[in-house]
A and B are shown apart, each in its own frame.
Chain A
């Protein structure tokens, strides 16, 4: 496992909001199915004392940690206040923060991540679906029904495209070790490179699917610095320049941030790149054939 397992206790911030409440329910339903601890506390300022799906809500992360044993936070606090919640969670001593929130101002994100990393804390996201290790832990909003346990890791800047690929893998009989959505914003905490470092030390992961998109150059940076066998897919071959394609970070801004340049770079590193999501299972099979 790479960011947590059945024993991980999770705090949800923004617990009493619509999204927070809904996903505490789903996360704990999954935890019950697999015998994990799941969400052990919620946090919303001024709502301490309430409960959400039987989970106690506290005013602050520190209050929650005094009474509950937790090492990770999942942040649902909306846009303008999300960065504050990330910093609060880091300050309270949590090791991992998964920020689901969309539309966080990028300057807020930069500061919050710098602050959290100074405290030795890892941030996944923002603007991400979180992570899921089948049979072990779910931190975020991924639909667990599509997943199956196995030896392939997935790292993606996207949400639903990740589910599409996971669905393809599961149907092809290829299970997943851990699936991590790192987020669609220009600045994110854990990058491809960081997650690949974790996968490299994970005995359960034999290969990783890297799902990238237009904007920035994190894909090549990650692929260059790892020995883990990879298969890649890059979305946005048809994306026009200077247009934001849904994600704040998905924009071709000159240089080599377009999909074709990224694909060319990956191919130069001898990494198989799928031209359609449905090709990914075959590329994984080929990879295992080569490495067995």
Chain B
């Protein structure tokens, strides 16, 4: 789950990373209550989870006199479709130099990878991810609690010692917060020390519970409802509802829909060993997506029993047509149950998807 800048900064502070002083408001009127702590020169930043926020006009300069109007203009904005619900007002730093540091996971090496550049800024992230330009990187064993000194020196070059310390502190955040990404861009030097001017933090969805995060904000309401039933669910924008078992098979079903010229309305993986009740919830959930004209059920029973799947489809009793391909454990019994109720069934993945694309028009 992605954290917003102000949330990430609160966690950075706990590891000893310095951040600019600031106030968070959810209405521009609230600023009046804080006028004493508003700096003469301020930066006003929309708190939205959107890449390229600065370029999209979500970060504005202000003075104590203009800060309320500036904040109001941000609250009236949507940035790449996302409404601005919170605004962070920070002191404007006297920046001497900007650096870039980002920590993520190298899947090939199975280790943390730390990227560092002598020049931070809005365009560096693309450069960094493409592996080009003046970006240095190091990887090292996840068994260590600190970045070894020699690697910090290799990584940070001639940057001041406080920059090296901050990079190591960011690694502490990365490790202790179960992060998939911890990033400071820019990391700045000023006459009063080193500051994280911006902050990015993405937490591993498999660690939300132990990080004390109860609700995954990255999910839509329907996706969250699906999660409660143990489904993996993603809303898409087509007309063919999809229910499968296993992420790979379900993804492959989506691809096949595209191959035959249709568009999927969702991705729903019921998970392993689903019983009739779970299948019923799945069918009802997908039928509830307004754009759905037809539902494809593509299940290959291993631990999942096809008779249970059939019972679930029948119990759901939805109005939209449900076209089924079930194979594997107890497939014959499942097919018999569905045939009695007049459901359309096809023998292969290709056939069932082709049929659904036809029905969806």
Contacts and interface: CB of A to CB of B under 8 A. Distances in A.
A235 B328 CA distance: 21
A248 B1 CA distance: 12
Interface string A153-164: 000111111111
A236 interface: yes
A245 B350 contact: no
A162 B259 CA distance: 20
Contact of A163 (B142, B143, B258, B300): B300
Interface residues of B, number: 51
Nearest to B268: A246
A111 interface: yes
Nearest to B174: A107
A111 B175 CA distance: 11
B255 A235 contact: yes
A254 B328 CA distance: 37
A85 to B, nearest CB: 16
Given A114-B111, A142-B302, A211-B248, A106 B350 contact: no
A111 B142 contact: yes
Nearest to B207: A105
A160 B251 contact: no
B254 interface: yes
B350 A276 contact: yes
A254 B246 CA distance: 24
A72 interface: no
Interface stretch (A6-14, A34-42, A215-223): A215-223
Contacts, number: 164
Given A114-B110, A218-B108, A104 B248 contact: no
A110 B142 contact: yes
A276 B248 contact: no
A80 B252 CA distance: 30
Q: Is the interface of B mostly helix, strand, loop or mixed?
A: mixed
A255 B178 contact: no
A277 B105 CA distance: 30
A121 interface: no
Nearest to B142: A110
B206 A239 contact: no
Nearest to A185: B206
A146 B327 CA distance: 11
B309 to A, nearest CB: 13
Contact of A107 (B107, B207, B258): B207
B70 to A, nearest CB: 30
A113 interface: yes
Contact of A275 (B236, B259, B264, B329): B259
A141 B248 CA distance: 16
Contacts of A245: 232, 234, 247, 250-251, 267
A244 interface: yes
A198 interface: no
A250 B204 contact: no
A115 B251 contact: no
A146 B234 contact: no
Interface in B311-348: 327-329, 348
Contact of A238 (B129, B141, B258, B300): B258
A187 B109 CA distance: 9
A22 B305 CA distance: 14
A186 B142 contact: no
B142 to A, nearest CB: 4
A146 B267 CA distance: 25
B108 to A, nearest CB: 6
Interface string A198-231: 0000000000000101101110010000000000
B19 interface: no
Interface residues of A, number: 62
B248 A255 contact: no
Contacts of B175: 107
Interface string A58-101: 00000000000000000000011000000000000000000000
Contact of A164 (B210, B264, B269, B300): B300
A125 interface: no
B107 A243 contact: no
A105 B204 contact: yes
A162 B251 CA distance: 12
B241 to A, nearest CB: 14
B110 A113 contact: yes
Contacts of B207: 105-107
Given A143-B302, A218-B108, A105 B251 contact: no
Interface in A163-211: 163-164, 167, 184, 186-189, 191, 211
Contacts of B143: 111, 114-115
A267 to B, nearest CB: 16
B251 A235 contact: yes
Interface string B42-84: 0000000000000000000000000000000000000000000
B250 A246 contact: yes
12 contacts: A106-B206, A107-B178, A141-B302, A158-B249, A163-B302, A187-B110, A218-B107, A238-B255, A243-B234, A246-B267, A246-B269, A255-B130
Interface of A: 22, 79-80, 103-107, 110-111, 113-115, 141-143, 145-146, 156-164, 167, 184, 186-189, 191, 211, 213-214, 216-218, 221, 235-240, 243-250, 254-255, 259, 275-278
Interface of B: 105, 107-108, 110-112, 129-130, 141-143, 175, 178, 180, 204-207, 210, 232, 234, 236, 244-252, 254-259, 264, 267, 269, 272, 300-303, 327-329, 348-350
- Pick the 8 closest A-B CB pairs, nearest first: A158-B248, A246-B247, A160-B246, A161-B248, A143-B302, A246-B232, A110-B142, A160-B249
Given A160-B300, A218-B107, A238-B251, 13 more contacts: A105-B207, A107-B178, A110-B142, A141-B272, A156-B248, A157-B248, A159-B246, A159-B247, A159-B272, A159-B302, A167-B327, A186-B105, A277-B252
